[in-house]
Structure 1
Amino acid sequence: MTSKYELPATIKADRYIVLLTMDPLDPKAGIDFVKQGTPEAGAVVYFGGITRNSFQGKTVRHLAYDCYVPMALRTLERIAKEALAGVMKNGNGSSSPGDGHGDDHTLSSPHESQVCKIYLAHRLGTVPVGEESVLVVVSTPHRQEGWAAAERALEHVKVAAEIWKNEVYEDGTGVWKGADGHACGCVSGGKGHHDKIVT
């Protein structure tokens, strides 16, 4: 599905950037963006989600991500805007607990935002062990607000963004996981509903 759209795909505004790309992510680009023009910021918080080499006792070869680019990009933009406004809705579009996927996740309630700028980036395609698949970078006046805002934004990306992850193991098998991080039951290389979206 990603092959039908030109990448990298970016939405830029004065206070946020959201990015989907097949290329390795650049933490410095995010840090530089959130620092620029924010003299009121006393903290920059960076989170990089990297591919680790194991999951529940299995050796992980790499992760592979795919998505519906136009929808995922708009979802990332919505999350960035909500972080800046201090209102981060749950995955089902409501402000109440629950993520819209049938699970009882409580992400956050409305809060007073202290976010100066935010940078959200997600890598698509194959992400080797030790490389970033997602970046969340925020600037805030104080570190406490930065940590809270970055974690809140990350959880919303994991729950709401239309991005699918294929965890590929050393033995060649793998499991697809949806936007909520839960396995959907498909096995890599088998006949399943993800066959149509793998590039």
Structure 2
Amino acid sequence: MPLPCSSCLLANAGKDELDPSFVSCKMDGVHARCGECARQGKSACDASGLDDSDFLRVRQALLKVERDEQKARQELRASMARLDRVEKQRELLRRRANLMISRKVQTVEELEELDRLESAREAGEPVDPENAEAGRSSKRLRGGASADTAAGPSQSVGSPGAGSGAAPSEGSELVNQARQSPLPDFDFGSFVYDESAVLVDLGFGDGTHQ
């Protein structure tokens, strides 16, 4: 059944089909006007002769497109949420890298503590830098003690530490002897010039030294 034209729709507004005054908008498929508009002599009739089944198909297609649009919008919102999380992770890692470079952070614990302080400062929350500094200092001390413990057994045998009570090795004694003067201390004060001393012939054959 074709859809009624605008004139018939206005004439049937608020009326039931059983009402005797109800206007039936009919098209014969040949003329461009419905029977009622032709009877009343109206030239402007917008009846298209479209069947109800055609209209329902268009209506169903429109509803399907609207559902697809809603689904696409939901997927877009989910993608935007994932993108927002990735951007926040990128900014967090970039800030941690900058902290490591600018503050010369040595451990991951210090990096997390600095990141927590920076986040609290940006959020306007009260921070206690003294406690944070004390915590970082204790972590550094623990790290230094671990390094000293690991480096202790690696001392060389020939260089014992001060206060260790270990006797110097034979190699150390040889080094000390080599550092001493090769000529012993000699006292030249006991020699006095004496003309009566007998000259010794050194045997050069020239008779100059006898």
With structure 2 as the length reference, what TM-score do the two structures score? 0.18
With structure 1 as the length reference, what TM-score do the two structures score? 0.18
* Structure whose CA Rg is larger: 2
Ranked by relative contact order (alpha carbons within 8 Å, sequence separation 6 or more), the top structure is 1
Higher strand share: 1
Higher helix share: 2
